[in-house]
Amino acid sequence: MFKKFLKNKEKPKPKPPGKNQPDIFLGAANEKDLIAPSSIKEVGPGDKIPDGNATDYWVEIGATAEPTRYFRSFFAILTGGSTWMGILNQLYIADFGEADLDIAIHVTPMDTTRTAWQLEQQIAQLEVEYAEEKNLAKKNTIRDQIAELSERHRNIKRGNERMFMVSIEATASSTDKETFRRFCNVIVKKFAGKGIHLRTADMRQLDALLSMTPLDAKVLKDTFRSMESSNLADLFPFGQGGLRHRSGIPIGLDPQGNLILYDPWYPTNENPNIVCLGRAGAGKSFTIKLIACRLVITNVRVGIIDPETEYESLMLGLGCPYIKLHPNSRHRINIFDVEEEEDEDGNLSVNLESTIKAVTAVVFKMIRTYEKQELPGRVKIGIQETIRELYRRRGITEDPASLYERGTGIRTTGVKKKMPTLTELWLEMKRQPELVDAAELLKPFTVQGGFPSQAIFDCESNVNISDVPAFAISVRGLDEEIMRPLGLFIATKWVWEKFGQNYKQKKAIITDEAQKMMYEPETALWLEDAFRTSRKRNTSMIAVTQGFEVFTKVHQGLAILKNSTTKILLKQEPLDIASVKEKFALSEGESHFLLNATKGHGIIKCNNDASVFYADATPEEYRMFTSDPNELIRLRAVR
């Protein structure tokens, strides 16, 4: 049986019919064909290249989809006696030119028993040298070495540390030879002063390049150095997934102490809008003041709507006006004000319809103060048409020239027409039978109503903000129940109109306690529209709120969150964290951080980027920003 098996095994294969020819399956592509380059060439000094003779070592890899790419590998040697978290961060970022830089860390664990034995042998040898040494200075050096090795031995025996053999490799590459050469020179010089010596893998560049891939069959053993586990951990890029803006204002520090730059108008942002959320005392206003102050320095005009007097110190510190609206104030603003605005092509126009809608919303809110019932449709239409008629009588249209008087004299600038007032609207509404009842409800907000504290918006504007880099409007002096919510909306709308006139100028409008504008449908709808259209006006709308649940209960609030590319999240209430986690797609770690965050610490999310940050201010900024009563007392005592 066994012989028969051997006989069958040795039987020759039948000869293929026909003429000899290559196997028809030889042309089929396999996995290697898909990843293999068209050519690989290792170049050294003296080799012939198209522009002369090579002076350095590199590897050229040909491809069909892009030009030839040049590679040069380096092995990093740490020349210092210690490491720290993020020691290689600049190497990972590699923001030194247009070339690419890939990093590989090769790690091989060492045997703990052998490591402890080697340390014991070295300690014993040093102890003998210490006993025999007569020079006191050298004895001190040997003693320090013994203490260091003894500490390492103790940590290894206790399991606090492990030893590894580590090789750090960096490979630069580019399709442009001159860019490639400059990049390689820059990184070597850049890191020489940081205790990181990048030694080129000359005469074995191809082996080094292969060691960066899964194809590394040959280990370059002489590039490995021993490291403890804590030192090895310092090499990895923990926290590198943060905010990747390369321009803008510094808003604080990340956990590694690196500066975080943020630009509301960064090219990858869909819009420049910001929502800042956090519980009372979490540091919302402090963070927004820091952003506002630094935006001003970068030539961004900033307008702030302040329900309290939170931003007064900031304006005083910047030397900018702080406008207080209250019955005894000299400052007055007119809800009917309208301005020309400039579009992307530099064309001026008047968005009269937007102004009419905003004025109508204010009037509806005034009427609803005394009559909570919804106004009939014909009354709403009548009020809106009456407002439109007041502008029509003055000849105000979408033409910017219609905003100015036609004088007979020669003037360099036109004289602005007087805008309609609430008294005029009230008088017109009284003349229309279907609007008489609504007119009576509007009357308390006019100078004819007998309530001076409620008639402060029945006037001509006397506030000029055209030439200031920043300003704030406070509504704290208004009646808290009726006029303050109304003033918050009117001030925001007025600033919106004034800011819309220059498309080229970057602007930011900050609305503090923005949840108060969600209580009424008219104001919520207007604020939502502002967030939707702010990009067209080159304006960053910034809503600051501790009422996250208020925003999520109304459609307009959710739309504002949706139309804000940037979310700044500070410490959250336990009752809100589940909803916050769901709405902003937070991880478990981020949610836990926001529940336990200390004052001034938070998370900034911008598109798909996110970073933990601490709003770090200079001492002078801190004096302008803080509103903590205890801190204010302390600062006054120091002065």
Q: In angstroms, rounded to a whole number, what is the distance separating the alpha carbons of residues 581 and 340? A: 42
Do residues 415 and 356 touch, judged by C-beta distance below 8 A? no
Half-sphere exposure of 475 (CA within 13 A, CB side): 26
Classify strands 301-306 and 507-511 as parallel, antiparallel or unpaired: parallel
Four-residue CA torsion sign, 48, 53, 56, 61: negative
Q: What is the DSSP letter of 603?
A: E
Question: CB burial class (10 A; 0-12, 13-18, 19+) of residue 353?
Answer: exposed
Read off the pTM: 0.66
Bridge partners, residue 611, by sequence: 604
Residue 95's φ and ψ, nearest 5 degrees, are -90, 60
Here the tokens at position 170 are 């960096």
Query: Under 8 Å CB-to-CB from 406, ≥6 apart: which residues?
Result: none
What are the contacts of 627-636 at 24+ separation with CB within 8 A?
627/285, 627/286, 627/310, 627/313
Residue of 68, 19, 66 lying closest to 40 (CA atoms): 68
3 state SS for 33-55: HHHCCCEEEEECCCCEECCEECC
Here the tokens at position 90 are 């600049």
Q: What is the DSSP letter of 404?
A: B
Q: How many C-beta atoms surround the C-beta of residue 301 within 10 A?
A: 20
**AA identity, residue 463:** V
pLDDT at residue number 409: 43
The residue with tokens 């007392």 is 633
Q: In angstroms, rounded to a whole number, what is the distance separating the alpha carbons of residues 550 and 54? A: 68
DSSP letters, 346-393, are S-EEE-HHHHHHHHHHHHHHHHHHH--SPPPHHHHHHHHHHHHHHHHH
**AA identity, residue 486:** L
User: How far, CA to CA in Å, does 80 sit from each of 77, 83, 196, 332?
Assistant: 9, 8, 8, 65
Number of helical (H) and strand (E) elements in the chain, helices listed first: 22, 22
Q: In angstroms, rounded to a whole number, what is the distance separating the alpha carbons of residues 613 and 257? A: 9
Where does 63-162 show beta strands of DSSP type E?
Answer: 69-78, 100-109
Q: Which helix (H) or strand (E) holds 60?
A: strand 58-62
Q: How many C-beta atoms surround the C-beta of residue 319 within 10 A?
A: 9
Do residues 286 and 135 touch, judged by C-beta distance below 8 A? no
pLDDT at residue number 11: 61
Which residues of the chain fall short of a pLDDT of 70?
Answer: 1-13, 25-29, 216-217, 238-241, 407-413, 500-501, 632-633, 635-639
Here the tokens at position 324 are 């207080």
Residue of 467, 472, 499 lying closest to 317 (CA atoms): 472
Q: In angstroms, rounded to a whole number, what is the distance separating the alpha carbons of residues 570 and 183? A: 40
Classify strands 69-78 and 196-200 as parallel, antiparallel or unpaired: antiparallel
pLDDT at residue number 86: 78
Q: Give one word for 86, left, alpha or beta, with left for phi > 0 and alpha for psi -120 to 50.
A: left
Half-sphere exposure of 44 (CA within 13 A, CB side): 6
Residue 340's φ and ψ, nearest 5 degrees, are -75, 150
What is the crossing angle of helices 136-158 and 112-132, to 10°? 160
Residue 153's φ and ψ, nearest 5 degrees, are -60, -40
Burial of 59-77, coded b for 16+ CB within 10 Å and e otherwise, reads: bbbeeeeeeebbbbbbbbe
Q: In angstroms, rounded to a whole number, what is the distance separating the alpha carbons of residues 393 and 401? A: 15
Q: What is the DSSP letter of 444?
A: G
SS3 400: helix
Classify strands 225-228 and 249-253 as parallel, antiparallel or unpaired: unpaired
Question: CB burial class (10 A; 0-12, 13-18, 19+) of residue 474?
Answer: buried
Q: In angstroms, rounded to a whole number, what is the distance separating the alpha carbons of residues 572 and 381? A: 43
Q: In angstroms, rounded to a whole number, what is the distance separating the alpha carbons of residues 54 and 205? A: 14
SS3 3: helix
